[in-house]
Amino acid sequence: MDSGIGLLAATAAVRRLRPDADLVLSLDPDGMPWGPRTPEDVTRRALDVAEAAAAHRPDALIIGCNTATVNSLPALRARLEPGIPVIGTVPAIKPAAAGGGPVAIWATPATTGSAYQRGLIEEFADGVRVAEVPCWGLAEAVEHADEAAIDAAVAAAAELTPDDVTTVVLGCTHYELVAERIRTALQRPGAAPLVLHGSAGAVAAQALRRLGELPAPEAAAEGTLTVLLSGRPGPLPAPALHYAEGRLLPATGPLADRS
């Protein structure tokens, strides 16, 4: 679940590990973006989106959104667990700081400077210098596959990123869809290759661990894909196919509920 197509990164990671999994993607185009909303409003919409997915009786629910995790994880777990394990998405600050830094965290303005993110920095950065970088408009540009807006938002965030940063945490799942463009914008001539840390792979692996699942054999049957748009069955949003993660999904399983 997510407000929009930011969930594609985690979805693609699950699909690669378990091509036989039947996937339900629950998005909220009626309420997107969640970032500017109050924490109470984010939680209300996240609960609605989660319950739409829960009606399909999933084995687990992945919150493919940092904003929803920051604001709504306790409420979602209180509503759905223990029947449905809920896996949140946390910025990969701990592995990023392990490299020694300096580190930048690219995140939505709502997440940047939040008590949640500051708590993660205090807990896991272990003295490494961390710069919090608000990325105005980037999630929305990625959501609509607006090339010019993506370039402008990436360039603006790059201007706010200290020159000596060696590692960047992608603190919004939308950003993982344009990771290489972010790398290109930040890579300094003559510097060592920039290290980017997303969350999708770790979140997918954690979901499978919670279920006691192992990756499926290569010969496993292909899983289906069901898409819910603010609770209504619908198609995968067209901008999703702009990204490799979105194109992977129809290629590995039939779309359900497309009409």
Q: Is 172 a catalytic residue?
A: yes
HSE toward the beta carbon, residue 189, CA cutoff 13 A: 0
Cα 74 to Cα 216: distance, rounded to the nearest angstrom: 31
Indicate if the pLDDT at residue 258 is higher than 80. Answer: no
Question: What is the rounded distance in angstroms from the CA atom of residue 146 to the CA atom of residue 125?
Answer: 34
Average pLDDT on 109-126 reads 87
Q: What is the mean pLDDT of residues 137-156?
A: 96
Task: List the catalytic residue out of 172, 204, 225, 240.
Answer: 172
Which CATH number does 93-198 carry? Answer: 3.40.50.1860
Q: Exactly one of 65, 130, 178, 229 is catalytic; which is it?
A: 65
Specify which residues 64 forms β-bridges with.
Answer: none
CATH level 2 (architecture), domain 5-89+201-256:
3-Layer(aba) Sandwich (3.40)
Mean pLDDT of the chain: 90
pLDDT digits (tens, 9 = 90+) for 46-92: 999 999 999 999 999 999 998 899 889 999 999 999 999 999 998 89
Residues of the chain with CATH 3.40.50.1860: 5-89+201-256, 93-198
Q: Is 135 in the active site?
A: no
Q: Is the distance from CB of 168 to CB of 197 less than 8 angstroms? A: yes
Token pair of 237 as six digits: 């949003």
